[in-house]
A and B are shown apart, each in its own frame.
Chain A
Amino acid sequence: EADIYQTPRYLVIGTGKKITLECSQTMGHDKMYWYQQDPGMELHLIHYSYGVNSTEKGDLSSESTVSRIRTEHFPLTLESARPSHTSQYLCASSEPLQGNYGYTFGSGTRLTVV
């Protein structure tokens, strides 16, 4: 059983609303990641963090923002949701020595913006 939790699992929200997707892990991992996954498409890295107060943008441009105030918590925020943000968002974490291959993923948040 993965020790990384994402809430909510499903979210349907109206355009223009502010939303925060939660991600928490109990493994003490320093490295954490947010991926966006659309059906039949590869996972795209949108944000990552190598530790507290460290955040970087990933390869896929995203209007979302992240914060890392505590090791175990890596929330993602959309200030004003749009239909183009509809997707599945996956959070992951890794140990320092497993950052090249050993990600642990949460079950994801499926976001629908109407």
Chain B
Amino acid sequence: QKEVEQDPGPLSVPEGAIVSLNCTYSNSAFQYFMWYRQYSRKGPELLMYTYSSGNKEDGRFTAQVDKSSKYISLFIRDSQPSDSATYLCAMSAYSSASKIIFGSGTRLSIRP
């Protein structure tokens, strides 16, 4: 079983829709939860991260972590065509020696 599971999509929604992206994980030691965005032919870029449980909002993006269910989500409000990309969830434990474990990514397309 993979440590991090992510639906690969593709997911296609009309412009202006609310998008929900999700990941599940199995390692209860994970404390940092991240979302990276990867445009075609580019490396991933950190979108936002949260530590432990709870919500975090940054503009049109909201990240949620439910550690009891081992489930994380990224919501995108008022989606734009420029949001079309692959979104990777990622997680790591608290130890400074921990490496980041990435999901396989969800390909998102926003239709104008």
Contacts and interface: CB of A to CB of B under 8 A. Distances in A.
B49 A102 contact: yes
Given A40-B104, A42-B104, A42-B105, A105 B43 contact: yes
B68 interface: no
Measured as residues with beta carbon below 8 angstroms from the partner, the interface class of chain B is: 20 to 34
A42 B3 CA distance: 11
Interface string A80-114: 00000000001010001001111111111010000
A107 B42 contact: yes
B79 interface: no
B41 interface: yes
A42 B7 CA distance: 11
Contacts of A48: 99
A41 interface: yes
B105 A96 contact: no
Interface of B: 2, 4, 6, 8, 31-32, 34, 41-46, 49, 51, 88, 90, 92-94, 96, 98-105
18 contacts: A2-B43, A35-B102, A40-B105, A42-B4, A42-B101, A42-B103, A96-B96, A100-B31, A100-B92, A100-B100, A101-B46, A101-B51, A101-B90, A101-B92, A101-B100, A103-B44, A106-B43, A108-B43
Interface of A: 2, 33, 35, 40-43, 45, 48, 58-59, 90, 92, 96, 99-108, 110
